[in-house]
Structure 1
Amino acid sequence: MIDWVPVIFVAFKVLILATCMFFAVKWHYDQGNKGADRRTVLRAGGKVAGIFMLAILGLGLATFGLASMLGMDLRLP
């Protein structure tokens, strides 16, 4: 039984990723057919990029905070 656990998890992961990629491509294709103006698309892209950068910064700060709270050595060699 234990030998099948990784096989089942990998198959599930591939199935979920394939489904998500299908719907992502379909959504982008449908958005391209709407004919949204360039300014709106650039504004939305800027917002997504800004939110992504804030999320990366927050995750980094949370990681370093947790690591220092656990007493890990964070100094570079």
Structure 2
Amino acid sequence: MDWIPIVFVTFKVLVLGIGMFFAIKWHYDQGQKDKDKQKQARAVLRAAGKVAVLFLLALLGLGLLAWFLVKKTGLDMSMP
């Protein structure tokens, strides 16, 4: 019964390796097919990154404002 893990792991690695190869090949071929879509995707990703950074900065500002107000009003925010 010691040969079962060897066979199954080998089979799994082989199947996943072939699947990854074809997935990468398909994505590469799709990227080469249309360069304009790739440029549009970069623009969308760049815009999404800007929105994410803006959101994080707003969140940080809100957290600092809340911390300042808690300190200013003397509220006890210590953990029990």
- Structure 1 length as normaliser, TM-score? 0.52
Q: How many residues are matched?
A: 43
Q: Specify which of 61, 64, 70 is matched with residue 73 of structure 2.
A: 70
**SS of residue matched to 1:37:** helix
Matches within 5 A, 1:1-77: 37-77=40-80
Identity value in percent: 49
Give the letter aligned to residue 65 of structure 1.
F
Which of structures 1 and 2 has the larger relative contact order (alpha carbons within 8 angstroms, sep 6+)? 1
The gaps in structure 2 that reach 5 residues or longer are 1-36
- Structure 2 length as normaliser, TM-score? 0.50
Cα shift readout 1:15-71 (whole Å, capped 9, x = no counterpart) = xxxxxxxxxxxxxxxxxxxx7710000000000000000100110010011011001
Runs of 4+ in 1 over 2 A off after TM superposition: none
Q: Distance in 2 between matches of 1:76 and 1:61?
A: 18
Between structures 1 and 2, the one with greater helix share: 2
Structure with larger Rg: 2
The gaps in structure 1 that reach 5 residues or longer are 1-34
